[in-house]
Structure 1
Amino acid sequence: MGFATALSGLKAASTNLQVTGNNIANAQTVGFKESRAEFADVYASSLSGVSKTQPGTGVRVTEVAQQFNQGNIEATQNSLDLAVSGNGFFVLSDNVNLPDPNNPTAPVDPSVPTAYTRNGAFQLNSAGNVVNSEGKYLLAFAPNGTTAAEGFSTGVFRPLTIDTSQGLPSATENIAMKLNLNGAANNPTNTTFDPKDPLSYNNMTSVTTYDTQGNAHIASTYYVKDPAAANAWNAYLFIDGYGITTGGPSTPPLPAPDSSVVGLNMAGDPVPLTFTATGLLDTVGGVTATKVEFGNIDLTQINPNISVKPMAFNLEYAGTTQTATPFSVNALTQDGLPAGNLTGIDVDGTGVVFARYSNGGSKALGQVALARFQSSQALAKLGDTTWAKTSSSGQPIYGAGGDNNFGTIQSSALEGSNVDLSAQLVKLIVAQQSYQANSQAITTEKTLIETILRA
């Protein structure tokens, strides 16, 4: 029995050496998780159980268990390099359902996850899909719209595809102005307003707006202090030099005329602005409101060379004041965009992937899916730093970065191996000594048998 006992020790020590050597070999493998050999003693049992004098029959390997502690996260220059800081695995699939290029609006069946990984070194394939080095597709939750605010369908998997098409233009729908009108200003010298006559108005602001095809149009607003009423001003809007008549205040809405365009250098109906005695905005367009609607602006009357949908937008004056200080523009924004080209990809901490365009716009392409398990150590090892679920691991729980016990996602970063080389070298020495000791036990047993045979 001595030979068998020492032989089991040799096998256990050899396994330990292999496990340690594998850890050392993968010390630089992205997303690798170190393993440890776990052992149990072996006794020869009988119906009466193990005898008190039973010396034992050796050792056996019970498991080569992987350790899923966090590896160091290192920054890279590739925005598609992803790292999970905390709990969770990236979700991969060998085969995915892609949209039909001949019918891109047709429904696409959800993809099925087949593997899980911590290795976030992803790249684009020829079709623009995000894949790993083995060609497995990175799965993401399908977006409900084009913005992150519209949310994502958690559990509905789609291959993450980078859309390299041109960013579509977006027509201006809202203009927001936050001004200060000088309450101590004199009334204009010329009482008849004329946009070409600086003596007929007090101040002017301009902002570039966009139509449905991304054509730029300059929206200019002229402010005239009302000589007939205290704390009152009239605002005249022009688009590319053409006067515009308002469709009425946004609350309550009034019907717009057939076209709000009046004519070149011809003023439309002004928007009256009134202020309280303390200088706060009181009414816009004659009602208690902060914005006014401009609708049905027929741009073909302004530029016959274009054919676009009529422009319509809200002009917001929230926060505008009237104080005895010089005129100032404290904020002036609009939400339209021209056409743009793809300039980059951004991934936030929750895994939302944005396509960034040269026009300043962005589009949500999907949300990187994460999975976690009740028992990560029970996952089946597939190689290439990937794992598969088993009956012992439990069913995967899917979610997004930062939610429901999931870690956050870092872009332009990779999680390195969690192997501690110093610790592995010490384990290597211990395993070597164990191997040598068991070899010595076999040598000793051999010497004893030879002594008995010569007796």
Structure 2
Amino acid sequence: MSFNIGLSGLYAANKQLDVTGNNIANVATTGFKSSRAEFADIYAAAKLGTGHNAIGNGVNLSAVSQQFTQGDVNGSGGTLDMAIQGGGFFVQKGSDGSLQYTRNGAFSADKDGYITNNTGTSRLQGYAADADGKIIKGGLTDLRLNLSNLPPKASSKVDSTSNLNASAPAINQATKPFDPTDTSSFTTQYSTTLYDTQGNSHAMVQYMVKTDANKWMSYTLIDGRNPDGTAISGIAGVAPRGSLLTFDTSGTLSTITIPPSATSNTTLTITDWKPGALENGAWKYNGAAANPAGVAINMANITQYNSASYRNPPITDGYATGQITGLKIDGSGVMFATFSNQQSKAIGQLSLASFNNEQGLQPAGGTAWKETFASGQPGYDVPQAGTLGSIVANALENSNVNLTTELVNLIKAQSNYQANAKTISTESTINKTLLQMT
């Protein structure tokens, strides 16, 4: 029996060496999870159990369990490199349609724009985004980088905060009518860039003229002309169209009076803007159009205080055509494409998987696992939902192998092997002695 016990010990020590050696070999493998050899003693037993003086029959390998503890997350600089800080697995689909789960976030884009693992054999799974950048949280799909240009958007609103100097001298428009070429005919001016439906930019300038106490005239010109394209000079009967701004005694804008008699609370809406430009000295429409609803200029945040006139940078919703310039991934796994027109749009959101029993996953090679009956079915959701971790962009998760611990395990496995070999050697010596006695 001692031979069998010793042999089982040699087998167990050899398996421990295999597991430890595999851990050491993968100490630099991204997303690798270390394993641990687990052993159980062997006892011969009948239906009624073992006797009080039963002697064991040795040891066997009961399990090789993986340790799904967090590895160190370090920056890598890769655009599509991702690490999971916390629980969960990346979901990737192979060419055969089967799903695999990994902690290795070294991804890249193939020639068709699909995000794949570092071997190019599996595609990263997640949720797609519609044309407006809204995430469609339905079934999982192959995540893909859309490298097409971002279409332009016609301007529909302008918001800003500004102040008009209450102590500025009033200008008598009877003797000094407004003329954009004459700086003495207006008090201050503000410029904003508008965009038409084709992404062409147009300069909108608002000229402010103080005409009396708490009263200002505002003249809005686009490309140096009235919004409808008519010139403000050189054409008989055509004059700049001004709006009267009235402030109360506290310096707050009360109303806007738009010719001939329409009154607005605080919004000036331009509905007759016809995009165009000067060509060879003549005004020509450029074939584009303005926003059908017009451009609403919010003037509610204009004040009239006794301080210098100023305006903070305006906030507009229009932009020109944009070319993709980069990709950003936030903690919840949303991928944002950034464009040359300073816009960004979500193009997808990756999904993470979780399991009730991670130890039941079957290693599939390539730092990936497959679902089994023991692991249970996966639960899919976005990062930072429930127990799922967050995404760290431009970073990778290192192996969780503790090299010092593995080297100590090598020494222990070697000692175990030597001790079990000594058991066999001793049993052999005893058998020789018994044979010599006979």
Instruction: Give me the TM-score of the superposition, normalised by structure 2.
Output: 0.91
Superposed, 1:276-291 pairs within 5 Å as 276-285=248-257, 289-291=265-267
Report the equivalent of 1:161.
144
**CA deviation after TM superposition for structure 1 residue 168, in Å:** 2.2
Bigger drift between 363-372 and 23-32 goes to: 363-372
Q: Report what 1:105 is aligned to.
A: none
The residue that corresponds to 2:128 in the other structure is: 142
**1:41 CA displacement:** 1.1
User: Which residue number in structure 1 is paired with residue 221 of structure 2?
Assistant: 238
2:355–2:375 Cα contact (<8 Å) kept:
yes
Partners of 1:318 and 1:41 lie apart in 2 by 82
Correspondent of 1:293 among 250, 260, 269: 269
Give SS of 1:331's match.
coil
Q: Does 1:418 align with 2:400?
A: yes
Number of positions where the alignment pairs a residue of Structure 1 with one of Structure 2: 420
Asked if the contact 1:72–1:415 (Cα under 8 Å) also holds between the matched residues in 2, the reply is yes
CA distance in 2, matches of 1:283, 1:367: 46
1:262 to partner: Cα distance: 4.0
- How big is each residue's C-alpha offset from its partner over 1:280-329, in whole Å with a ceiling of 9 and x where there is no partner? 23334575644332224122487526211234321122322110112111
TM alignment of 1:164-313, pairs within 5 A: 164-191=147-174, 192-227=177-212, 230-244=213-227, 260-265=228-233, 267-285=239-257, 289-300=265-276, 304=284, 306-311=286-291, 312-313=294-295
Shift of 1:264: 4.5
Contact 1:15 1:37 in 2 (8 A): yes
Unpaired runs of at least 5, structure 1: 97-111, 245-259
In 2, the alpha carbon distance for the partners of 1:316 and 1:386 equals 55
Distance 1:289 1:44, change over 3 A: farther
Which residue does 1:317 correspond to in 2? Answer: 299
Superimposed CA distance per residue, residues 250-286 of structure 1 (whole angstroms, 9 cap, x where no aligned partner): xxxxxxxxxx444345555433322232112333457
Task: Give the SS at the match of 1:409.
Answer: strand
* Residues in 2 aligned to 1:288 and 1:393: alpha-carbon distance in whole angstroms: 65
Runs of 4 or more, structure 1, over 3 Å off, are 260-269, 284-290, 300-303
Query: Could you say what the CA RMSD is over the residues aligned between the two structures, in angstroms?
Result: 1.9
Cα shift at 1:427: 0.7
Matched residue SS, 2:249: coil
CA distance in 2, matches of 1:241, 1:29: 64
In structure 1, the partner of 2:366 is: 384
Partner residue in 2 for 1:55: 55
Alignment match, 2:107 = 122
CA distance in 2, matches of 1:289, 1:374: 60
Change (3 A) 1:213 1:52: same
Q: CA deviation at 1:338?
A: 1.7
Please give the alpha-carbon distance, in whole angstroms, between the structure 2 residues aligned to 1:113 and 1:12. Answer: 35
Query: Are residue 67 (structure 1) and residue 53 (structure 2) matched?
Result: no
The answer as to whether partners of 2:108 and 2:116 remain within 8 angstroms in 1 is yes
Letter in 2 for 1:218: A
* CA spacing shift, 1:55–1:284, aligned 2, 3 Å: farther
Distance 1:284 1:3, change over 3 A: farther
Q: What is the CA deviation profile of residues 17-64 of structure 1, one whole-angstrom value per residue up to 9, with x for unaligned ones? A: 100000000000000000001111111001220111111111111111
Tell me the distance in 1 between the aligned counterparts of 2:12 and 2:251. 86
CA–CA separation in structure 2 for the residues paired with 1:321 and 1:408: 44
Give yes or no for contact 1:155–1:398 (8 Å, CA) kept in 2.
Answer: no
Q: Measured at CA, do residues 30 and 301 of structure 1 come closer, stay the same or move farther in structure 2, by a change above 3 Å?
A: closer
- TM-score by length of structure 1 reads 0.88
What is the percent sequence identity of the aligned residues? 38
- Counterpart of 2:206, as a letter, is T
Unaligned runs of 5+ in 2: none
CA spacing shift, 1:327–1:113, aligned 2, 3 Å:
farther
Q: Corresponding residue for 1:433? A: 415
Q: Is the 8 A contact 1:129 1:159 kept in 2?
A: yes
